[in-house]
């Protein structure tokens, strides 16, 4: 458990999976949590779970992370309602329909990059000034195993997640003396609705690539994210942490 009392944490893509687990963990450790998602039903469900399970202070705000005006409004609303921003987790992302590079539709490419890569840049564009005004903070961007190695059939997703790593490293260097640390996590397959929607054969094929022979739980990824925001990680910035059961070591 970490002491996040009197702090405010913003989590995008918090309607399910890693985002929901991270929001709940922040709340359990005492933070006021802003749950943000484009899916209002899922986001409100997360907020309700936090209120019921963690008895935490939580706000749900709708956001389209691919749109700068929407993210600016999200950060402004966070500051208006809670007066500060200490932690931000840029987690919102989408996947692409599997296809080889010559077969990828340009609109599909743009859609993936807008949400997964531009969304992280836009997030930090508006989060960083808010953190300066709050006296500092920490940002964790959610990349992927596909952000540190190739991913056949998923070129848009891999390119976007590699971009997240590059943005993280650059932001960390730009803010090393500004009191804001910036890191990334790079999960492998996680027990999320996307995994559940696959056939048994598809799941087995993916999980067989993981040395630990299982998917990560959302809580296992959330624990690394929250640790990176805590004072116990106070000298860590610009890093991209695999949460992958050893997969990137193969």
What residues act catalytically? 143, 157, 161
Alpha-carbon torsion (89, 90, 94, 100), positive or negative: negative
Single out the residue of 27, 23, 16, 44 nearest to residue 191, CA to CA. Answer: 16
Main-chain phi, psi angles of 190, to 5 degrees = -125, 150
Across 30-58, b (16+ Cβ under 10 Å) vs e yields: bbbbbbbbbeeebbebbbebbeeebebeb
Pairing type for strands 87-90 and 137-142 reads parallel
Question: Quick one: which H or E segment has residue 61?
Answer: strand 58-62
| Cβ(246)–Cβ(211) below 8 Å | yes
Side-chain-side CA neighbours of residue 229 (13 Å)? 32
Other Cβ atoms less than 10 A from the Cβ of 9: the count is 31
Q: Which residue has the tokens 């991270």?
A: 22
Three-state SS at 65 = coil
């Amino acid at each position: 458990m970490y002491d996040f009392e009197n702090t405010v944490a913003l989590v995008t893509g918090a309607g399910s999976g890693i985002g929901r687990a991270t929001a709940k963990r922040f709340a359990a450790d005492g933070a006021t949590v802003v749950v943000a998602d484009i899916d209002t039903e899922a986001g409100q469900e997360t907020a309700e779970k936090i209120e019921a399970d963690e008895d935490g202070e939580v706000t749900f705000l709708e956001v389209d992370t691919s749109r700068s005006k929407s993210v600016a409004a999200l950060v402004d609303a966070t500051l208006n309602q809670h007066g500060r921003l200490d932690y931000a987790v840029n987690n919102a992302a989408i996947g692409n329909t599997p296809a080889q590079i010559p077969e990828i539709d340009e609109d599909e490419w743009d859609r993936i990059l807008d949400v997964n890569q531009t969304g992280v840049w836009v997030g930090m564009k508006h989060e960083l000034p808010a953190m300066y005004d709050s006296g500092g903070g920490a940002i964790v961007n959610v990349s992927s195993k596909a952000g540190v190695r190739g991913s056949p059939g998923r070129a848009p997703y891999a390119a976007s997640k590699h971009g997240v790593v590059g943005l993280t490293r650059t932001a960390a260097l730009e803010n090393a003396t500004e009191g804001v640390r910036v890191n990334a996590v790079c999960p492998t397959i996680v027990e999320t609705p996307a995994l559940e929607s696959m056939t048994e054969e598809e799941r087995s094929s993916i999980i067989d690539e993981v040395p630990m022979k299982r998917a990560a739980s959302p809580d296992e990824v959330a624990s690394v994210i929250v640790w990176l925001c805590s004072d116990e990680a106070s000298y860590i910035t610009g890093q991209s942490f695999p949460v992958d059961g050893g997969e990137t070591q193969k």
